[in-house]
Amino acid sequence: MIGIVIVSHSAKVAEGVKEMAEQMSQGRVPIAAAGGVDDHTLGTNAERILTALQQAYTPDGVLVLIDLGSAVMSTQMAVEMLPQEQQSRVRLSDAPLVEGAIVAAVESSLDRSLEEVHKAAEAARQMKKIL
């Protein structure tokens, strides 16, 4: 099973997306949120992201969904803090945060591989909301 990490500049956004993804996967997927510099300050914190990576880590891998570009740098720093053997099992996704997290959670709950979960999450950017 693939773990999922939600990285946002807002702790509330990260927790909200985590809650939605957990509900869609019926709580079967390890999902962690890393939002804000702290619980009250917008921004990202590599140590918070590292903690989330450790919480969601599985030997099958972890997919990280990120809200805005500058969160990528903090996430890359956090990944570099992991043991070498774990770093190769972490994939950063360019998927839309909400839709990607929900699709990733569902795909992970179906025991898809890291590559399959990643592709499905990124395909979520093509989902039409209004026809």
The one-character DSSP state at 67 is S
| Catalytic annotation, pick one of 5, 9, 108, 118 | 9
Residue 118 is among the residues annotated as catalytic for this protein: no
14-18: list long-range contacts, CB under 8 Å, 24+ apart. 17/65, 17/97, 17/98, 17/101, 18/101
Helices (DSSP H) in 25-113: which residue ranges? 46-56, 69-81, 84-87, 97-109
DSSP bridge partners of 63: 4, 91
The one-character DSSP state at 110 is T
Residue 15's identity, in one-letter code, is E
Task: Give residue for tokens 């999922």.
Answer: 4
Residue 60's identity, in one-letter code, is D
- Active centre residues (catalytic): 9
